Structure formats: structure tokens, C-alpha cells
Structure 1
């Protein structure tokens, strides 16, 4: 039985079976035998379908005589999402650092519980999200030129020392090098034939920074005009072999080092893309919801398109809500082929 006008029973049941967290808050699932209602992602064992009713809200389920599950707390979903949204806004507006205790107190949760809640919804801890946000501002400021020191303070760091603790790990190069188009950084590249066509692979000392098709090394020169761009040769043998293996058989993705950096939102999207199992797809809306920004579907699509490391960060696994393939920077034929190879038994 369904009391939901906007969602048919088959779709609701599929979301419940998949424990789809993105559907939490959209409806609740009531079990006639226990008189309990749950959110779609509830970890409890699934009842038989004939014992399930769907309601648009917890209030509707309660009116029908059901009580909320004490395990998944379905009535807390809206409050949880409001708290995370408020925390995201606070972190985005902050000029300096905001402690977990301050953030939790502001939204009315204990620090330990909010740490878990925020990490589950966003894909990053509050501290990691704040670091990514500051680093993204720093990258923007450095790209515009001007003083490195001033950019550090404008990005929200307490001082140069704090910035330099994070900079090497996130940027893969010094801040001056980033601002100056990669000055002092060596980027090595190789071109290799794959079943998808000619592939460009480029890497810094940290890891792969570009995997693309239909490009040559001039694409690297445009992005990092002051970097040393050179052929990789034997030094890139293992990376090339791993990348070719990923392209040929994306269902068994090798663990290759990456050197990528984006805004906090982009990195949260890329992290979510890497969680999609081979052979499965997600919609742009599902990705937006998974990173805690259900209203940012277009932004999720833009972050998907900003991925510099095709296949290794599997943006090809994201499709439109209607089931069509959507877009792909390297052509829909390649996207279709990657998905087909992942679905081979």
C-alpha cells in the first residue's frame, strides 16, 4: 500500500531494498507486523514486501497508528539535514577556523554525534571540509596573482605556518609554483593507445594529474605554462600500465596515486564517484544528495565535468535521472563502452 503521490511503490521499494540514503526524508516505510516505520536507509533486516506500507511523512505514519523506529530515528532526518546545511553555511562564512565543539553547539548536537552525522552526509569530516574549503580559496587567490602571504590570510588560514602544513599535501606543488603556472614543478607525460583511443597520462611526483583522450601534451602546457613538461619514459611505466588496465577493464580498478585538487564541493563529489561500485550508476541528483547538497544537482554535474582524471575517478558512472547517459567530455561512445565493459560477467 502507498500513501505517496509523488513516488510509485516499485520505486519506493527499490530505494528501501538498496538502503538509499538519498531518499531519506522523502518518505517512510511502515511495517504492518511490527507497527514501526523507518527511513529508507534503515539498517534493519528487510520485511516481506506484502507487509510494507509507504507514507509521505512520519506524521502520516503516526496518524495511521505506527511508531518510529528507535534504530534509524526516521523523524530526525529533516533536523539532521538542516543541521548539516547550517554547518556548511557556517564553515563557508567563517574567516578563520571553527572547532568541532563550536560547530556542534551551534546546531544543537554533541560533538561526537555531529562528527559522525556530518561525515556521513558530506563525505568529509568537518575539519577536512574546512581544510578543503580554505585550500580551494587559496588556489583561487594564487591563480589570480598577488601576494602569497595575503592570499594565505584571505583564505582563512591563521598564518603561513598553518597553510604550509596543508599545502604540499593538497596542491602537490608549492603555492608560488601554483600561482606562477607550475613554476619549479616537473610534470611527466606519456601517450598510449587503448581500446578507447589514444590516451594522455600525466603525473607529478605525487601522482597522476591528468588522464584524458583526444589530447596531447600541449593541454598540459596550457594549464601549467611555467612547469617543466617532459616525456616520462621508463619512469612512468607502472603508472601507464595501471591506467591502461583501468581503461581496458574498469570493473577492476587498480589503486593508483592521484594528484588532484578542487574546491571542497568538487572533492566531495569526486570522493562520492569513487564509491560507486563497478557496474552500477548514479544520477546527478543522487550524487548531490550523497554529498549533503540535494539542491545542487547542476553543481554536481559541473563538478563531475571538472574531473581531470577520467576513468580513475569514474565520472562515466553518472547518468541522468531518466536513465539516459547524459554528457561525457570524451564522447558518449566512450562512456557507453566503459559501462558495457563494467557490466560484463
Structure 2
């Protein structure tokens, strides 16, 4: 959202909670001290009557203010450019890049760059590189090349490193993943609900996919070599519990097992989503702060969108800071209805 579209009340609220997600969107001018700051500045906060908001540093300087030496508000654009440059370097490099190397490329000290990168992305440079390598491995292993070639192409030093890194992080053993889920049995069904047809799929560990307006093709694309079994007596019990969770979400569904894996940051976000009580909502900023990454609001939104089991990981309970619903993968009507039911 641009500064022009924001109200002064929203700017003031963001400044009061020192919301790093708003850094770069507007500037806080303090008339009594003659300085301007980022919204997240850690300095003592002024009285509302002494504050004026600006679109950028140029506007603040035009009003006779000077930049804060504590939060360096004019460096926001530089921070973003530095992070983008580091991400490009990580993607282009065939070998892991040391933090000192990345910092030198961007002109920051290693310690400061680590903070800047983590604030922007929600991950440290090293964790980002690992997540990127994991994604490359998953993509490479889905084609028809030899597994060993795919592992090396993804950036692992060898098969043993791949298995050690990936085991237990994908909801099924890495050995099953490299063959598209071979050896894994997934029970599934499409059931009618008051919110529309719902796909439910589960391994022996728990629900691995819950979505609307999807069918068997979607499962096959995710697990092309898995054994897909429609229905089944044992699955019927779990299926009923999932349907009940959709129809009466306020009753709770923490007892339903789930089988999902993601990056460390994604899993932290999903755990926080499951902590939100029925009938309540949280903002993306609150979720980011809850996982210890207050500046990673965008990353929290991405993790929210990467949720594979709708409702059981209640991403519908996350709204924008202004209280509006925001987005939802299966349509805002479903999100609104789920929140209405839980509010009862």
C-alpha cells in the first residue's frame, strides 16, 4: 500500500507498534526534535501532536528535518537493494557463499547485513540458501533424470548430504520423495460440504492435503509415484472428523493429525496459526512477530499461502492490519463464512 492510500491513523498505529513492515512506505517526522525516522525506530516515541508523516526522506528534508542517526531512514531503499543483490548472488553461485562475502558485496558489515537480510526475508542468508537448495532438489527430482545427477545439480555435495538434510522434512522419507512418493500410500476422497466439494488426502501420519475445487489430478501432480487409494474403512473415520471440522470449526480440530513439511520458517508460521483460538484473528504482522521475525511480514504472508491443509492449519484466521480480510486461496466467501461460523 502506498503512502497516498494510507490514513494518518494507520501511520500512527504502525509507528506506535514499531512495525518494520512499514519501513520504506512512509517517514515519521518529529517536529520538536527536528529529525525524521523509520516507523520502526527504537527511539523514544513522541506525542501525537508533534508528529508529521511524509512519503519519503526528501519530503521530510523539504520540511527542514534531518535524518535520525539511530535508524538511518534513508537507508531503507539501500537495504532492499542489498538484499536483492545478495539473493541474486546466492542463486547464481554454485557453492555456498559465506556471510562475510555477501556483506562485502553489499557494502555492509557482516553483522549488520545479517540483521538487514533477516528483517527483509524472515530468514538468515544461510537459511535462505538452504531453502533455495531444497526447492531446487524437489524440482530437479520431479523430472526423468537420474536421481544422483539431480542431487548434484541442486547444490548438494552428494547423495548422503541430500538424505541427511531432507529426511523428515517433507512428510514422507526422502527416499520416497526422490521417486515421486513411491512406497507411500495416500488415501483420498472428494466430499461435498456446505462450502463446496472438498479434497481430503492423508498418509498414515495424517492429513497431507485439504483443499477445495481440486481432484485426483492435483494429488497425482504432487505425488506422481505414490499409491493413491480412494476411500477405505480406516480413512472414513478420519474423513468424518475433517468434514466436521469444516462444518463446525468452532468445535476445534487440534486432535486431527496432519502430515505437512516446509521450511523452518514456514513450519513456525503454521504452528502459530494453529495457536489462534476459534473466533479470533491475527494480522500478518502479528504472526511475523510471534515467530520472532517482526520484519518478515511478507514472508509470513507467503508461508500462510503455502499452507497445504486448509482449515486444519487455519490460515483463514489471518487478516490485514486494517482488519480487512485480505486474500484466501479458495475465495473470500469461504474465508468469510468460516470466520462467521467460528464467531458463533
TM-score normalised per structure 1: 0.73
Q: Is the 8 A contact 1:270 1:304 kept in 2?
A: no
Structure 2 partner of 1:310:
310
Cα distance in 2 between the residues matched to 1:71 and 1:253: 46
- Note the alpha carbon deviations across 1:22-48, whole angstroms, 9 max, x for none: 321122111223333221223455433
Structure 2 partner of 1:333:
333
**5+ residue gaps, structure 2:** 289-294
Matches within 5 A, 1:184-333: 184-189=183-188, 196=195, 199-204=198-203, 208-213=207-212, 220-221=219-220, 223-230=222-229, 248-249=248-249, 254=254, 257-261=258-262, 278-280=280-282, 290-291=297-298, 307-311=307-311, 312=313, 314=315, 317=318, 328-329=329-330, 331-333=331-333
Structure 2 partner of 1:49:
48
Matches within 5 A, 1:28-177: 28-44=27-43, 46-174=45-173, 177=176
Cα distance in 2 between the residues matched to 1:257 and 1:70: 48
Cα distance in 1 between the residues matched to 2:299 and 2:80: 8
Deviation at 1:190, TM superposition (A): 7.1
Deviation at 1:8, TM superposition (A): 4.6
Q: Is the 8 A contact 2:30 2:51 kept in 1?
A: yes
Rate the CA distance shift 1:165–1:232 in 2: closer, same or farther, 3 A. Answer: farther
How large is the Cα RMSD of the aligned pairs? Answer: 4.5
Rate the CA distance shift 1:10–1:137 in 2: closer, same or farther, 3 A. Answer: same
Rate the CA distance shift 1:47–1:237 in 2: closer, same or farther, 3 A. Answer: farther
Deviation at 1:151, TM superposition (A): 0.5
Deviation at 1:106, TM superposition (A): 2.0
Rate the CA distance shift 1:236–1:157 in 2: closer, same or farther, 3 A. Answer: farther
Relative to structure 2, which stretch is displaced further, 142-151 or 52-61? 52-61
Rate the CA distance shift 1:61–1:332 in 2: closer, same or farther, 3 A. Answer: closer
- Note the alpha carbon deviations across 1:21-74, whole angstroms, 9 max, x for none: 232112211122333322122345543322211123234434534343344332
Rate the CA distance shift 1:153–1:66 in 2: closer, same or farther, 3 A. Answer: same
Cα distance in 2 between the residues matched to 1:232 and 1:33: 71
Moved over 6 A (4+): 190-195, 232-240, 250-253, 267-277
Structure 2 partner of 1:181:
180
Q: Secondary structure at the match of 1:212?
A: strand
Cα distance in 2 between the residues matched to 1:206 and 1:51: 57
Structure 2 partner of 1:297:
none
Cα distance in 1 between the residues matched to 2:20 and 2:247: 30
Cα distance in 2 between the residues matched to 1:167 and 1:20: 34
Rate the CA distance shift 1:37–1:206 in 2: closer, same or farther, 3 A. Answer: farther
TM-score normalised per structure 2: 0.73
Counting matched residue pairs gives 327
Q: Is the 8 A contact 2:193 2:243 kept in 1?
A: no
Rate the CA distance shift 1:199–1:327 in 2: closer, same or farther, 3 A. Answer: closer
Deviation at 1:152, TM superposition (A): 1.0
Deviation at 1:80, TM superposition (A): 1.6
